[in-house]
Structure 1
Amino acid sequence: MVRVTSDFWVKAYLRRLALADIAAFVTAKGDATAGAVLIKQAPLDGTATLFQRSYDLDGNRVWVTLAAGAEQDVDAAVARQRSFDPDIWVIEVEDRAGRHLLGEDGLRD
């Protein structure tokens, strides 16, 4: 299996979101080679959901929810994650319909 760098994956993800007309911003730039990636999806109603890539029981890469609820609580969860791992990337996706395109073909790794 070929792994891509975090920087390459982030650029591809941002481009895919742009093609779908979904606003997204890198709010914290992590390690270019192997930094973990957090995705904060904000439907612009005061709530948010925080996703991180992880592994399921079969060893497949999946997106898991780290936090969900009031946007300020999700922001606090991001701050906690960054406090012990400053190499984390954080991408904020803003879409009223809640779209984030995670798990679609080409966005797994």
Structure 2
Amino acid sequence: MRVTSDLWVSALVRRVFADGGFAAVERKGAAEAGAIFVIRRNRLGEYELFGPASQTSYDEAKPADRQFVRVLVTADEDKVRERLAREMRFDPDVWFVEVDFDGDPGNYMEIAAD
């Protein structure tokens, strides 16, 4: 059984803060099963946008884990916001979480192969 989106986002925010980073929920979606997008700005000023991985990326050993793929890497915040606006039109139950931390994003979320 997969944990709810609300619980997963809460755990991500707590984990990032515990490691000395910063996280903020920009948009709350459906508590039970809303899709989650994670926005990260790195030290070079580039934005990384992570979104839900396709179902084919899931491992049979861990089918309930949430997996993410890097959707976008850009220095233009407007491109990130445009993509998020498209996602919101497609799925009004979507979550947006912005994070700021040092290190590998794989330490905070399961990243599927691009």
TM-score interval (norm. to shorter): 0.7 to 0.9
Question: Tell me, what secondary structure is at the counterpart of 2:40?
Answer: strand
Residues 5 and 33 of structure 1 are in contact (CA less than 8 Å); yes or no, is this contact kept in structure 2?
A: yes
Q: Structure 1 segments of 4 or more deviating over 4 A?
A: none
The one-letter code sitting in structure 2 at the alignment partner of 1:64 is V
Identity, % of aligned positions: 34
**Equivalence for 1:37:** 36
- What are structure 2's unaligned runs of at least 5 residues? 60-65
Structure 1 residue 19 displacement after superposition = 0.6
2:92 pairs with 86, 95, 104, which one? 86
The number of residue pairs the alignment matches comes to 102
Q: Higher mean Cα deviation, 78-87 or 59-68?
A: 59-68
1:44–1:25 CA distance, 2 compared to 1 (3 A): farther
TM-score, normalising length from structure 1?
0.80
Greater helix fraction, Structure 1 or Structure 2: 2
Distance, in Å, in 2 between the alignment partners of 1:71 and 1:44 is 14
Unaligned runs of 5+ in 1: 105-109
- Partner SS state of residue 110, structure 2: coil
Partner in structure 2 of residue 107 of structure 1: none
- Provide the alpha-carbon RMSD of the alignment: 2.1
